[in-house]
Every structure is written in C-alpha cells, then in structure tokens.
Amino acid sequence: MQKRVVLDNGMTLVLENTSSVRSICIGVWVRAGAIYEPADLGGVSHFIEHMLFKGTKKHSARQIAETMDSIGGQINAFSAKEFTCFFAKVRDEHIEKVIALLADMLNHSLFDKEEIEREKNVVIEEIKMYEDAPDELIHDIFSQSLWKSHPIGQPILGTVESVSGLGREKIMNYYSKNYVPSNMLITAVGNFKIPKLSALIEKYFKFKQDDGIGARSVETPKFCIEKQFREKNVEQVHLVLGAPGITEIDKDRYKLYVLNSIFGGSMSSRLFQEIRENRGLAYSIFSYATLYKMTGLFAIYAGCGYKDCDVVTQLILDEIEKIKKNNITKIELTRAKEQLKGNIIMSLESINSRMNRMGRNEIYFNRQIPIDEVLENIDGVSEEDVSYMAKKIFKKGKMAFSIIGPQDGEKKLERSLELVP
C-alpha cells in the first residue's frame, strides 16, 4: 500500500509499506542542487551534504556514525544536479532512532567554522581525485562544453576556487533558503504501519512552516555545440560525442530509452558488439541519456588506444547514420524492450531502489507513476519511433565532441575532432 501525505508544515511524505522485508529504507530529499547555485557558490549543495554529517547540538560526527553502527543500520547521502538526498536503511524495530537522527542532522547541524575549513580541504581533495579519473572527468568536461556557463553544466562538487570561497555566512544563507519543509520530501519503503510512521516523522521533523521557496529564476539552458581537447598525462584517449537530448518529463522519453538500449546501452548493443566484440578497439564503449527537468543530453563514451581514436570515432558516426535510416530489426526492438522491463521489475525487489524511484517520481512528476504505465509505454515503442528519436537527437552540425588525450596530442587528434560534422 502506498500513501501520499502533506504535513501541516508543508513537507510531503510518500510512504509504501510491504511485509515482505524486515527493514525500512527512508530518504529525505531536498530540491537543492547545482542548477540552483549562484555562480559564486558552485558546489555549495554538495558541501552542505557533507556538513550535515559533521555534528549537531545533540550528536558529534562520531556519535552519528556510532548510533547507526549500534543498530546495524546504514546512512549516507548523495548530491545531484537538481536535488540532494539523505537516506538510511535499518531494521524495522529501529526506525524511530533513525528518524530522530535524520531530523536532528537536517534541522540542527552546527556548521562549525573550524569544521567548515577542515571539510573544504576534504572536498578539494575529492575534486582532485575526480580530476585524476579521466574516464569520469570527461563527462563533466562534455557537460560544461555543452551548457557552457549555465549551472546545469557545472560540476556537482564545484571547483577548487568556488569551494575555497565558501564561508559560513554564504553557506547558512543558502541552507536557510533551501532546507525548508515546502522544499523537502520524505519517501520510505519497508515493513511499517503508514499511520505510525507518518506520526513519527511529524513528531521529529518539527521544521517551522515556511512561506514557500517561491519561483526560482533558472534560465532554460542554451546549447553550445563545440569540439574541444583536454591535455592530460593518460595512457588512453577518452572521448564523449553527443548532442542535446530531451527532458525527464518529455513524453518521448521511452523512445529514447529504447534507442539507448539498442544503440549503446547494453552488452548486445550495436556499439558494444561492433567496436569491442567484433573489432577489439575499446574495452569501455557505451551510450547514455541524461535527463533533467528542463533539458537533457544523449552521449557516447569510448576509452581507446591513442592510435585507434580516428577509427573508433568514425565507427561511432557510421553507427549513428545506420540507426537514423530506420533499419531497426524486430529482434533488436524486442530485446531492448525486454531488457528495460527486466531492469525495472528486478529493481523493485530492492527497497532502496523503490525509495529512490518514489523520490524521483515526486520531484519530476508530482505523482507516482504506476509500473504498469511504464511497462505499457515501453511496449508501445515501435521501430519507427526509434528511428524518429535517432533523427531528432543526431542532427548534422548539432553534435559536440570532447576528448582527453596525452600530452602534446592535440595536433595528432585533430583528425578525430574534424570527423564530426
């Protein structure tokens, strides 16, 4: 059974009980992410996520960790471009302790000045660690290239410069504006009685009612189609080729999911089979769709040998042209649909995944999308729909290209960059 409740203070709850488990997964979602950050506060949403684990009036950072360990539970958080989520999983008998702890962290964290300075160093090291992982860094480089100065294109972690400039006053100002009941959501799945859990949340999450976050003046991102090379001391060339996509709320998203599965989103996909299995030119090759509320992208990643970059780039372009010509087979279409449906159905066996799905549905659609509706939409995609979506995404002159390559490699990789129309 699932129920949606709005508390008197404006906080929304979406609760789903199931007796098939002996645990509960609960998540507190805040509509605060990189897209809502001013230019001088890059990374502040992620930084606040860190700081909420650094101590409250009742619990030190160590006591937060010890409380969860003492009840055999797990607690963590993640930051995304459009939201931040704090979540915990625990045996059902300990849920009140977890709710009390989460409420304390979100409403009474100290934001100690000395702790802020220490955590700046931690986050800066996290940024440097990310910079040392070119297979991850290339995706941020591509996003920044595609959306330029718009916040949606900026890294979730921020930059060394923006994080270094964060002071307590700036952090608290952002926190006080965003961490308010009307901008928060709680989702929970597990073995509980809905009225009892709802009462516990209302008991501990005594956030004062706010006037609402108000209209957020976020401009619609404008795409910038360019090609760029980033020099780095690497053994492999890492490339991302892609184009503007569609939004998370676009009715055509199911067509895009099927396109991605056929094109490069699975081991049986065209890119994987042609470039890795048939030719052995890359270990990692895949496509992916990233969808946000107001924009999106579709991209292909490959990690390949320096001497093979031209060939791999041309093969990707060849596969793009093929899929635009409506040569999708019924076997491919059926396989893609079954893969998507299987992934969705199997994910529902995890209460963590169910909790996550409920939160995203509420944030993007303000409702819970029934599984049957999702499966029906996937089944409704035709061969012509996939071709239509490929033509919509891969337009001549509308594809961006980013490469991370070895030092002094820009001139040698110019041909790869020039291959993309």
The pLDDT tens digits for 122-169 are 999 999 999 999 999 999 999 999 998 799 999 999 999 999 999 999
Model confidence over 184-232: pLDDT tens digits?
999 999 999 999 999 999 999 987 767 666 546 678 888 988 899 999 9
**How many Å apart are CA 79 and CA 30, to the nearest integer?**
10
Q: Is the pLDDT of residue 327 over 70?
A: yes
Note the Cα 76 to chain centre separation in Å.
15
Our CA angle for 169, 171, 172, nearest 5°, is 65
Which residues have a catalytic role annotated?
49
Q: Is 240:402 a contact under the CB 8 Å cutoff?
A: yes
DSSP state of 109: B
Note the Cα 389 to chain centre separation in Å.
22
Convert 341-359 to b/e letters by CB count within 10 Å (16 or more is b): eeebeeeeeebeebbbbbb
pTM of the model: 0.94
Q: Residues 6 or more apart from 324 whose CB is under 8 A from it?
A: 387, 390, 391, 394
Nearest to 289 by CA among 334, 324, 340: 340
**How many Å apart are CA 124 and CA 285, to the nearest integer?**
30
Q: Is the pLDDT of residue 409 over 80?
A: no
Model confidence over 44-62: pLDDT tens digits?
999 999 999 999 999 999 9
Query: Whose structure tokens read 């900026």?
Result: 154
Q: What is the pLDDT of residue 245?
A: 95
**How many Å apart are CA 250 and CA 257, to the nearest integer?**
12
**How many Å apart are CA 310 and CA 127, to the nearest integer?**
30
Our CA angle for 153, 80, 220, nearest 5°, is 40
Q: Is the pLDDT of residue 394 over 60?
A: yes
Q: What is the pLDDT of residue 149?
A: 79
Q: Is the pLDDT of residue 416 over 80?
A: no
Q: What is the pLDDT of residue 242?
A: 95
| Homologous superfamily (CATH) for 2-204 | Metalloenzyme, LuxS/M16 peptidase-like (3.30.830.10)
**How many Å apart are CA 150 and CA 167, to the nearest integer?**
23
Nearest to 359 by CA among 87, 106, 95, 153: 87
Query: Hey, which residues does 290 pair with through a beta bridge?
Result: 297
Model confidence over 266-306: pLDDT tens digits?
999 999 999 999 999 999 999 999 999 999 999 999 999 98
Give the other-Cβ count within 10 Å of 320's Cβ: 21
Q: Residues 6 or more apart from 310 whose CB is under 8 A from it?
A: 415, 416, 419
Q: Residues 6 or more apart from 43 whose CB is under 8 A from it?
A: 34, 37, 123, 155, 156, 157, 158, 159, 162, 163, 166
**How many Å apart are CA 77 and CA 52, to the nearest integer?**
10
Q: Is the pLDDT of residue 328 over 70?
A: yes
DSSP state of 367: S
Q: What is the pLDDT of residue 212?
A: 60
- Determine whether domain 227-419 maps to CATH 3.30.830.10: yes
Q: Is the pLDDT of residue 371 over 90?
A: yes
Query: Whose structure tokens read 């795409």?
Result: 223
Query: What does pLDDT average to over the chain?
Result: 94
**How many Å apart are CA 199 and CA 383, to the nearest integer?**
50
Q: What is the pLDDT of residue 372?
A: 97
Q: What is the pLDDT of residue 373?
A: 97
Residue intervals in the chain for CATH 3.30.830.10: 2-204, 227-419
**Helices and strands: H and E segment counts in the chain:** 16, 11
Tokens coding 258: 């099927």
Q: What is the pLDDT of residue 208?
A: 73
DSSP calls for 2-67 = EEEEE-TTS-EEEEEE-TT-SEEEEEEEES-SGGG--GGGTTHHHHHHHHTTSBBSS-BHHHHHHH
Model confidence over 70-119: pLDDT tens digits?
999 999 999 999 999 999 999 999 999 999 999 999 999 999 999 999 99
Q: Residues 6 or more apart from 252 whose CB is under 8 A from it?
A: 246, 389, 392
Amino acid at residue number 46: H
**How many Å apart are CA 309 and CA 363, to the nearest integer?**
40
Convert 276-292 to b/e letters by CB count within 10 Å (16 or more is b): beeeebbeebbbbbbbb
Q: What is the pLDDT of residue 411?
A: 66
- Rounded mean pLDDT, 26-41: 94
**How many Å apart are CA 129 and CA 357, to the nearest integer?**
29
Query: Hey, which residues does 23 pair with through a beta bridge?
Result: 91
